Amino acid sequence: MRMLPDSPVADRRLRSGPVGIGIVGAGNISGEYLENLTRFPDTTVVAIGDLLPDVARSRAVEHGIGRAGDVTAVLDSDDVEIVVNLTVPTAHADVARAAIAAGKHVWNEKPLTTDRVSAKQLLEAADDAGVRVAGAPDTFLGSALQAARRAVDSGVIGSPLSAVATMTSPGPDAWHPNPAFFFQPGAGPLFDMGPYYLTALVQLLGPIASVAAAGSIARPTRVVGSGPEAGSTFPVATPSHVAALLRFAGGQSAQAVFSFDAPQFRYALEVGGTDGALILPDPNLFAGEICIRRPGGSAAETLATTTVGSTRGTGVLDLARAIREGRPHRADGRLAYHVLDVMASTLQAAESSSVVMVESRVERAEPLPDDWDPDASTL
Query: Residues 114-155: pLDDT tens digits?
Result: 999 999 999 999 999 999 999 999 999 999 999 999 999 999
pLDDT above 70 as % of the chain: 96
- Of the candidates 215, 258, 197, the residue with the CA atom closest to the CA atom of residue 347: 215
| pLDDT above 60 for 333 | yes
pLDDT digits (tens, 9 = 90+) for 237-284: 999 999 999 999 999 999 999 999 999 999 999 999 999 999 999 999
pTM for this prediction: 0.94
CA angle 201, 34, 166 (to 5 degrees): 25
d(CA 202, CA 52): 37
Q: Domains along the chain?
A: 8-138+312-330 (3.40.50.720), 140-309+342-357 (3.30.360.10)
d(CA 310, CA 80): 22
| pLDDT above 60 for 227 | yes
> For residue 296, what pLDDT is reported?
83
ω into 111 cis (within 30 of 0): yes
pLDDT digits (tens, 9 = 90+) for 271-316: 999 999 999 999 999 999 999 999 987 789 999 999 999 999 999 9
CA angle 206, 109, 42 (to 5 degrees): 90
pLDDT digits (tens, 9 = 90+) for 53-103: 999 999 999 999 999 999 999 999 999 999 999 999 999 999 999 999 999
C-alpha torsion angle, residues 8, 90, 320, 7 (rounded to 10): -10
> For residue 4, what pLDDT is reported?
36
Confidence of residue 12 (pLDDT cuts 50, 70, 90): very low
d(CA 156, CA 342): 28
d(CA 87, CA 133): 16
What is the mean predicted confidence (pLDDT) over 36-48?
98
